[in-house]
Amino acid sequence: MFKNLSKYWWCQIIGWSINIAISVFFVITFGKSSPLYFTSLICTCLVGLIVTHIMRMNIHSLKVLDKPIQQQVFYFIVLTIVFSILFGVIAESIDFLIGYKPERLQKYSKAERLFLSSFNALWLILIWNLSYYIYHYVERNRKQELDTFRLEAMVKSLELKTIKSHINPHFIFNALNSIRALVDENPERARTAITELSNILRSSLRAEQQETVPLQQELDIVRDYLALEHMRFEERLQIEMDIDPDTLTQSVPPMMLQTLVENAIKHGISKKIDGGFIRIASIYKDNHHELVVQNSGTLNGNGHSVEGFGIKSTQDRLNLLYQGKALFEIQDIKQSGMVQSRIIMPVAAIL
């Protein structure tokens, strides 16, 4: 039975047992005791265990620990006061039912005894709440450190796969062939294309060392990538960008948007004889930053895979960076004949 108890219940049992032991020690040492006192003490501590457990259930149901620190403090104060009063009322009711009337409290009225009982309960609830919040604060910091270490470990372990996942080797070969064809025909465009390819490769290598970059920097790489692909597809590739200027300074994982665009080219546009359309959007919606990539085609018909390394890498990076607060999805939009990849990230800085 005891082997299955969680750390929380062990802390509850030990904590309230210590409270009983301390109370008994002081009463035996410095005061007078009676059988009813011990009955009252044990019943009161059992009630305290139940009341604090109900308070913990409220903390979880209200998601207090996920709120900003100012709101956490507010809920901390309100819950402490409310459950102190509840604890005091129940404790006084128990003493009334068992007929326990300490001599030191007989001079007070029922209302005054209720106030004193609630006031005494306030300190117990306050200590309980402080212990609970401090424990979760330490645990959250520890988890964040572990997530950081996991992210670094993942980046290092996937170092050889990173360029493959971000930059398709066929894209590099195609870009070089297109540049070679332009050397005599359009030397100026060839030089520009070499610069664009260099920027993409440089950013892919730097992605190993950065957790986030401004969206503006990521869009510059995407534009270079699309410019090179446009040399190959020409009129078969139609591009539209809908970028909210306010989102340009928002932090995003490096090369993540480029990976989605490359996926759209590889599995969407290149599979269609007549080419297709790509739309890239960046907006704020419901206090979140949304990145959307849409391309002509269908999810199953054009070979899109939600199990590929690039997709899984995107999901893993978002989970680690934003601790489950970011969403990634890829789906068909049947009414428009498009495939949509969407990333939803919190606007606030990464915690």
pLDDT in tens, 208-240: 566 788 999 889 888 888 888 887 777 888 889
Query: Based on the structure, what is the number of domains in the chain?
Result: 2
pLDDT averaged over every residue in the chain: 79
Rounded distance, CA 314 to CA 329, Å?
A: 10
Rounded distance, CA 125 to CA 216, Å?
A: 50
Give yes or no: residues 242 and 141 share one domain: no
Give yes or no: residues 188 and 207 share one domain: yes
Burial of 275 (0-12, 13-18, 19+ CB in 10 A): middle
Give yes or no: residues 30 and 84 share one domain: yes
- Report which of residues 308 and 242 the model is more confident about: 242
Give yes or no: residues 138 and 164 share one domain: no
304 pLDDT more than 60? no
Rounded distance, CA 338 to CA 108, Å?
A: 77
CATH number at residue 172: 3.30.565.10
pLDDT in tens, 35-60: 787 888 888 889 888 999 999 999 88
Give yes or no: residues 189 and 129 share one domain: no
Range of the domain at 270: 160-346
pLDDT in tens, 97-142: 887 777 666 677 777 878 888 888 888 889 898 988 888 888 888 8
| pLDDT for res 281 | 94
**Would residue 351 count as lying in a domain?**
no
Give yes or no: residues 168 and 309 share one domain: yes
Give yes or no: residues 127 and 167 share one domain: no
Checking DSSP bridges between strand 276-285 and strand 237-243, what pairing results, if any?
A: parallel
Please compute the mean of the pLDDT values over residues 239-258 and round it to a whole number: 89
| pLDDT for res 284 | 92
Please compute the mean of the pLDDT values over residues 304-330 and round it to a whole number: 72
What pTM was computed for the model?
0.50
159 pLDDT more than 80? no
Boundary of a domain, candidates 128, 152, 176: 152
Give yes or no: residues 143 and 175 share one domain: no
**Would residue 124 count as lying in a domain?**
yes
Please compute the mean of the pLDDT values over residues 158-166 and round it to a whole number: 46
* Helix runs in 31-109, H state only: 35-61, 69-98
Give the pLDDT band (50/70/90) at residue 309.
very low
- Report which of residues 163 and 215 the model is more confident about: 215
